[in-house]
Structure 1
Amino acid sequence: MTNLISRLFGAFASIAFPQAIQSFINRVYVAIFHIDLSEFEESKNFTTLNKLFTRRLKSPRPFDTTPNVLISPTDSLITESAQTSQHRALQIKGMAYDINELLGEQIPQNTEFAYINLYLSPRDYHRYHAPCDMQIEEIRYFGGELLPVHIPALKKFANLFVRNERIVLKASMQNGKRLYFVAVGALNVGSIVFHCEPKIQTNAKRGNETYTYATPITIKKGEELGMFNMGSTIVLFIEDFTPHIHSGTKVQYAQTLGILA
């Protein structure tokens, strides 16, 4: 049912209503969610609600270009930030899950990661960027549910990230260590887009898919990776990394999250 609701909402958000009506819809949305448009076009300039959701920054944000500095890929709330233990991570305090299930891979027993859960609310900038220089070796798509991912839902539904539709990027970083970039679908997310792999069609009643690249896809830090059509969650798993940011912190894309080993 949540998948159907999300498809219907996505269809509505893609309709270009007459200008006066669309401008009104946009103003109401901005007012309800207290959206700050100071870095974006005025709400009246967006011809659909989806274009307002997926708005681009008018000017690039500066970030620390030092190779071992990891930056936030999104504007978001950090709901959890810690180290995995026996390949388990928290979706929220008291609710752990197996990262092997989430990633679709059996991680070697002696390998643990730092993880950061970044929740994008409906008011946030919905595009996501590379947190560091990346060599993408594989992209995995997992069909699933589209349950909400806000904090009340994280406390209610066990294995929420594993149950929901998601896309997993498996990449190596400039230091040779592993990075997993996981985009988790949610209620009212019409689609999850990754520019480097347009064949992936989300929320389309499809099974799992894997795309492996003999020549890895090179992505530079800060480069736009894709976007959510509505809010959702990014989960980062970073090998040999200690986050400098804590749960409950609001961050913006380009803000420093910590230093790579």
Structure 2
Amino acid sequence: MKSPRLLARLTDQEDLNFLLTNRLPRALLTRFVGWFSKIEHPLVARLSIAIWKAFADLDLSEAKKQEFRSMHDCFTRELKDGARTIDGDPMVLSSPCDAIVGACGTLDGVTALQAKGAPYPLIDLLGDPALVDTYRDGRYVTLRLKSSMYHRFHSPADLDVEHVTYISGDVWNVNPPALKRVERLYCKNERAVIRTRLSDGAPLILVPVAAILVASIRLHWLDVLLHLRYRGPNQIPGTARFGKGQEMGWFQHGSTIIVFAPKGFSLCAGIGEGSPIRMGEPLLRRPDAA
């Protein structure tokens, strides 16, 4: 009797979520939503945002403006001045974004987790053996942005950007059901590997990972939009300096940022899988001076 078992699977919330958000033509749907979200018409914008609110906990009370030209304008909204407080401790790296903390902790050599029991090697994510070795036994934090969250990301410390590697890829959803089912998902999706150096010389990597409906990344210091139709160059040298809390860029919607720090850094108190965090709150602590 296969029918009862099939019905049970379809009525399971996680299975249904995975089916609806990943078994569709992901790239085609992403391009369509990218086009549709930028339609600047008052009726289309208001209706789209109203539907969005009906399916997500979208709170626009902190937005700098309340009228939006398009759904995309709402996705990439700025916040009111003072809506976020940046941690002032120079020993602390603050969260670059509003997020739900995903897998985090100490790297197992050069292997991280995307979910419990689902490891991935850093070489598959970063693509550079020398870079991978720099972070051996280091710390990492996965920050998942829900679709309703503030979508801009900021510098976690005073730092210099040294290089960006853009890696085109798939657009799997990055929500928990997909992370449990798709092996090495982050290594398959479109992403940017942002190499930075802190003011004390320590390296730090930020990896914004795009996803279905959100396959484009805007970085303020680059004059190109990184998206599925971008054709290079994939290695983008060049420097940019950011102060702690300064805006670095945004996703077109919600997605994920993975932060990698070398051995010696530690997670700040309260950072654990499933915990919410806001941009500017403590995320990682530098090694003690000793």
Per the normalisation by structure 2, the TM-score is 0.84
- Which residue does 1:152 correspond to in 2? 177
Letter in 2 for 1:247: E
Q: CA deviation at 1:80?
A: 1.1
Distance in 1, Cα, partners of 2:71 & 2:215: 12
- Which residue does 1:247 correspond to in 2? 273
Tell me, yes or no, if the aligned pair for 1:89 and 1:97 is still in contact at 8 Å: yes
- Which residue does 2:59 correspond to in 1? 36
1:47 to 2:69 alignment: yes
Change (3 A) 1:21 1:143: closer
Tell me, yes or no, if the aligned pair for 2:135 and 2:260 is still in contact at 8 Å: no
Residue among 101, 113, 125 paired with 1:102: 125
Q: CA deviation at 1:25?
A: 2.3
Change (3 A) 1:200 1:39: closer
1:130 to 2:155 alignment: yes
Written as runs of structure 1 = structure 2, the 5 A alignment for 1:1-261 is: 1-17=25-41, 19-41=42-64, 43=66, 45-60=67-82, 61-106=84-129, 107-108=132-133, 111-204=136-229, 206=231, 209-213=234-238, 216-239=239-262, 240-244=264-268, 245-261=271-287
Q: CA deviation at 1:157?
A: 0.4
Letter in 2 for 1:257: L
Q: Secondary structure at the match of 1:161?
A: helix
Letter in 1 for 2:85: P
Change (3 A) 1:85 1:208: farther
Per the normalisation by structure 1, the TM-score is 0.93
Change (3 A) 1:110 1:194: closer
Write out the 4+ residue segments of structure 1 that deviate beyond 6 Å after TM superposition: none
Q: Secondary structure at the match of 2:221?
A: coil
Letter in 2 for 1:181: L
Q: Which structure 1 residue ranges, 5 or more long, are not aligned? A: none
Letter in 2 for 1:242: S
Letter in 2 for 1:192: I
Change (3 A) 1:98 1:26: same
Distance in 2, Cα, partners of 1:231 & 1:85: 28
How many residue pairs get aligned? The number is 257
CA RMSD of aligned residues (A): 1.7
Question: Which structure shows the bigger proportion of residues in helix conformation?
Answer: 2
Change (3 A) 1:111 1:20: closer
| Aligned-residue identity in percent | 31
Change (3 A) 1:112 1:207: farther
Change (3 A) 1:86 1:38: same
Distance in 2, Cα, partners of 1:233 & 1:188: 13
Distance in 2, Cα, partners of 1:182 & 1:110: 14
Q: CA deviation at 1:111?
A: 3.2
Distance in 1, Cα, partners of 2:203 & 2:47: 46
Tell me, yes or no, if the aligned pair for 1:143 and 1:208 is still in contact at 8 Å: no
Tell me, yes or no, if the aligned pair for 1:70 and 1:131 is still in contact at 8 Å: yes
Change (3 A) 1:113 1:198: farther
Letter in 2 for 1:25: S
Q: What are the Cα deviations for residues 43-98 of structure 1, in whole angstroms up to 9, with x where unaligned? A: 5x001000111110011322122222111111111011111112000011111111
Q: Which structure 2 residue ranges, 5 or more long, are not aligned? A: 1-24
Question: Which structure shows the bigger proportion of residues in strand conformation?
Answer: 1
Distance in 1, Cα, partners of 2:136 & 2:55: 44
